[in-house]
Amino acid sequence: MSKELLLKNLRNVPDFPVPGIQFKDVSTLYKDAECMRVMVDELYELYKDKGITKVVGIESRGFVVGAALAVRLGAGFVMCRKPGKLPAETRQESYMKEYGKDTIEIHTDAINESDVVLLHDDLLATGGSMKAAYNLVKQFCPKNIYVNFIIELTIEGLNGRAVFDKDTEVTALLTI
């Protein structure tokens, strides 16, 4: 994988969404065809032999690469969304963010006990939203759950990987 290509195309937005934050904008990776190919190819190599049957993308940036990867793996794609966005019956999981409570949901018929699930999102910082998605998927009792990000931030004070069980495989294409 060309980490240099991805890093070169990753946009940093200072002071977004609040002063002092260096926002990692992955939309610049999505708009570049070569970056998309590199990301999907690398993720395919990581997961091609894991028996993945469903890729769950976390709203909304997790939908982009998650859906492309699902196609490449021959797996289904499941959207994990904010409340009120999915039209049929759902299961929900709430979690705390630095500025309040949030909730995500998945259709009740999206995952079953025979599935092997890959959860995908763009960025791991504190791990709150992905841990909620992980807990939500666990309610369906799939055979296994893997967790993946495009970017893992390892700056002081952020230890998102620590929120997952020690036996959960967590990977990231880039560590910053």
Dist CA 143 CA 150 (whole Å) = 24
Is residue 37 annotated as a catalytic residue, yes or no? no
CB-based burial label for 23 (10 Å; 0-12, 13-18, 19+): middle
Catalytic residue among 4, 89, 98, 113: 98
Catalytic residue among 61, 93, 105, 152: 61
Is residue 61 annotated as a catalytic residue, yes or no? yes
Contacts of 45 (CB under 8 A, 6+ apart): none
DSSP 3-state assignment of 119? strand
Dist CA 149 CA 122 (whole Å) = 5
The residues that are catalytic are 61, 98
